[in-house]
Structure 1
Amino acid sequence: MANCSPSSDQKPDEMASMEHGSENDVKVHVFSSSSELIGKLHEKWSPEQKKPYPAMYSSVVGGIILDPAMMVIPIDDHMVHRGHGVFDTAVILDGYLYELDAHLDRFLRSASKARITSPFPRSTLRSILVQLTMASQCKEGTLRYWLSAGPGNFLLSPSGCPKSAFYAVVIDDVVSQHNDGVKVITSTIPMKSPLFATMKNVNYLPNVLSVMEAEDKGAFASIWVDEEGFIAEGPNVNVAFITDDKELILPSFDKILSGCTAKRLLELAPKLVEQGRLKSVKTADLTVEEAKRSTEMMYIGSTLPILPIIAWDEQPIGDGKVGYLTMALSDLLWHDMVAGPDTQRLCVPYIN
């Protein structure tokens, strides 16, 4: 049995600063002070490099953090060790937050399903996110935010967590249209049940495994098919199809996440119907066989906004090339994102 007790002649400060060995001669450093630990955390972040995460908000500390080394959450947060949390994302583009309100509404619907009560009213959450984006000085990227049952203990029940927690981080990244097509596969990883699929929660292990499965097969990502054989969604995106007679069809949202960008596309796409380029726009149940007969196929998501799909399970979609209607829809969404503030966009004071 290993002896974990310190020898009687060791002083407390010596015990704190020494490196302890194990039966395998692995030495684990013991940090003697918070300043030493902070110094170690800073080693990862060169002062010259561009910060990928220029700002974070934490309700645990009650403010905005600009030092990436300090962007942490408690290990006993229920979201960390039990997955009891929800999240959402909004795009930052040219000084604007795109569809923040739509994402925030879905965020709070997810929190309600997860039985997490926000520590702040909706108006305060929104104000925090706007102020965080301003403080970040980020012109282009994403804003991601979480509601957690909060820190408290390591038990299964959140009853010992005195207060829920709200976190948000700005991610500096490139947001652009995608002109090249990708290959996808049908996932063999079981998809989430409707309760969890319609709630944007942090339990993304099935999503992660489905992407890894696709990458193992040389594909970009995957498509889930439900128990009844109907098309569901991608690992973190919606999927859409254009039929031979130029119908745009998205799978019904009954059992999958109601994508904010997908719903916006459904609002914009009728413009192509008016122009005679599309016959109709709708949501419907679609079998795998019907879907694979489509002439065009695409992923839809906040940061894409549309990603053409040219092959599925090694079978070409249409002629195996990026479709012109897919790009027409991509142009519609992209123009909506960059056109300027309207009912869909939130103006953040522009950063020079």
Structure 2
Amino acid sequence: MAAPKVENDEEFRVHVFSSSSELLEKLHEKWNSVKELPYSAMYSSVFGGIILDPAMMVIPIDDHMVHRGHGVFDTAIILDGYLYELDDHLDRFLRSASKAKISSPFPRSILRSILIQLTAASQCKKGTLRYWLSAGPGDFLLSPAGCPTSAFYAVVINENFSQCKEGVKVITSMIPMKSPLFATMKNVNYLPNVLSKMEAEEQGAFASIWIDEEGYIAEGPNVNVAFITHGKELVLPVFDKILSGCTALRLLELAPKLVKQGRLKGVRTANLTVEEAKGAAEMMYVGSTLPILPIIMWDEKPIGNGMVGELTMALSDLLWEDMATGPETKRLLVPYA
């Protein structure tokens, strides 16, 4: 967005807010003009509670997650009043925190309870629950030694996502991918991901595909990628250098149903070369809010026949059914008031 024009820079004066109430009034002006609030509720361990006013859904500028990127995050889906795969995402969240050397201000059971209570307070029945662990506020140095405690934040976002049935175009990313340490840790340092997404959009594509230094298929900017071979096998890249997506792992658990039906011949993870991947019969992104997005063209060349694949949609149906009616181990009913 371009900066507002100023007729005479020397005459421009920055407004000084005289009080917190004046500032809050200004913040409310912004949100009062919004037809539908995108954020239902937020939790902040700095505030020590749940916030329902979007004007107050803020974090301190001296939080090390803000100015040093020292933080991790994760996301769970809210569908029909249920939290999907909350425990799987929370476990990965804490593994990421351990790798980032961030200690949680609460034990896992309390984090889980906060997230459930936050979702209930939001009254959101469809959307996403996003949450972060930060080294915490304290100063602007590199080391978090000056931070009194780590911080936990979470927000509920109203999102009307739906099953993806249209195919998209992708490109091979020229942006260097993260090293395995950072790629397997779901941390807030997403600049490579952002640039990779922008790179694709600038070329008229939806997103991109990363190739590792050995020439094997890695992942998309915030999603896993999967393929159907001409031999009708579902193949996902191995997870040793990329993030092990919760949805991708669930797909590997559900896909054998199609093997039993005779529609798939097998399910596996493997190192795939670019030639093998581009020669696949079908291709898809796999991620929480998709949960599957068909890919029909890569670097201006069609995947398979250039149409959304039958098996891609069958896998998508499996995941959507699991999200909507799956077992209690995967779906947690939110206790709305």
- Whether TM exceeds 0.5 here: the answer is yes
* 1:132 corresponds to 2:118: yes
- Code of the aligned partner of 1:238: N
Runs of 4+ in 1 over 3 A off after TM superposition: none
Q: Deviations over 1:220-275 (max 9, x none)?
A: 00000000000000000000000000010000000000000000000000000000
Residue 198 of structure 1: aligned partner: 184
Count residues with an aligned counterpart. Answer: 330
| Superposition pairs of residues 289-308 of structure 1, within 5 angstroms | 289-308=275-294
Residue 122 of structure 1: aligned partner: 108
Question: What CA distance in whole angstroms lies between the structure 1 residues aligned with 2:98 and 2:66?
Answer: 19
* 1:55 corresponds to 2:41: yes
* 1:333 corresponds to 2:315: no
Moved more, 257-266 or 22-31: 22-31
What's the CA shift for 1:26? 1.8
| CA separation of 1:224 and 1:48: change in aligned 2, threshold 3 A | closer
- Code of the aligned partner of 1:69: A
| Superposition pairs of residues 2-41 of structure 1, within 5 angstroms | 24-41=10-27
What's the CA shift for 1:286? 0.2
Residue 209 of structure 1: aligned partner: 195
- Secondary structure of 2:32's aligned partner: coil
Residue 96 of structure 2: aligned partner: 110
* 1:169 corresponds to 2:155: yes
What's the CA shift for 1:345? 1.1
Identity percentage over the alignment?
80
Question: What CA distance in whole angstroms lies between the structure 2 residues aligned with 1:350 and 1:64?
Answer: 15
Residue 251 of structure 1: aligned partner: 237
Question: What CA distance in whole angstroms lies between the structure 2 residues aligned with 1:277 and 1:25?
Answer: 71
Question: What CA distance in whole angstroms lies between the structure 1 residues aligned with 2:109 and 2:212?
Answer: 37
- Secondary structure of 2:92's aligned partner: helix
Q: Is the 8 A contact 2:121 2:336 kept in 1?
A: no
Residue 318 of structure 1: aligned partner: 304
Residue 189 of structure 1: aligned partner: 175
- Code of the aligned partner of 1:274: K
Question: What CA distance in whole angstroms lies between the structure 2 residues aligned with 1:47 and 1:218?
Answer: 32
* 1:159 corresponds to 2:142: no
Question: What CA distance in whole angstroms lies between the structure 2 residues aligned with 1:135 and 1:154?
Answer: 34
Residue 264 of structure 2: aligned partner: 278
Question: What CA distance in whole angstroms lies between the structure 1 residues aligned with 2:53 and 2:29?
Answer: 12
Q: Is the 8 A contact 2:171 2:209 kept in 1?
A: yes
- Code of the aligned partner of 2:116: V
Residue 219 of structure 2: aligned partner: 233
Question: What CA distance in whole angstroms lies between the structure 2 residues aligned with 1:74 and 1:28?
Answer: 21
Question: What CA distance in whole angstroms lies between the structure 2 residues aligned with 1:99 and 1:271?
Answer: 19
- Secondary structure of 1:69's aligned partner: helix
Question: What CA distance in whole angstroms lies between the structure 2 residues aligned with 1:121 and 1:70?
Answer: 26
Q: Deviations over 1:77-108 (max 9, x none)?
A: 00000000000000000000000000000000
- For structure 1, list consecutive stretches of 5 or more residues without a partner in the other structure: 1-21
What's the CA shift for 1:340? 5.2
What's the CA shift for 1:343? 1.1
- Secondary structure of 2:39's aligned partner: coil
Question: What CA distance in whole angstroms lies between the structure 2 residues aligned with 1:24 and 1:297?
Answer: 57
What's the CA shift for 1:46? 1.6
What's the CA shift for 1:132? 0.1
- Secondary structure of 1:24's aligned partner: helix
- Code of the aligned partner of 2:140: F
Question: What CA distance in whole angstroms lies between the structure 1 residues aligned with 2:96 and 2:12?
Answer: 44
What's the CA shift for 1:347? 1.2
Length-normalised TM-score, structure 1: 0.92
Q: Name the Cα RMSD after superposition.
A: 1.1
- For structure 2, list consecutive stretches of 5 or more residues without a partner in the other structure: 1-7
| CA separation of 1:29 and 1:47: change in aligned 2, threshold 3 A | closer
Length-normalised TM-score, structure 2: 0.96
- Code of the aligned partner of 1:200: K
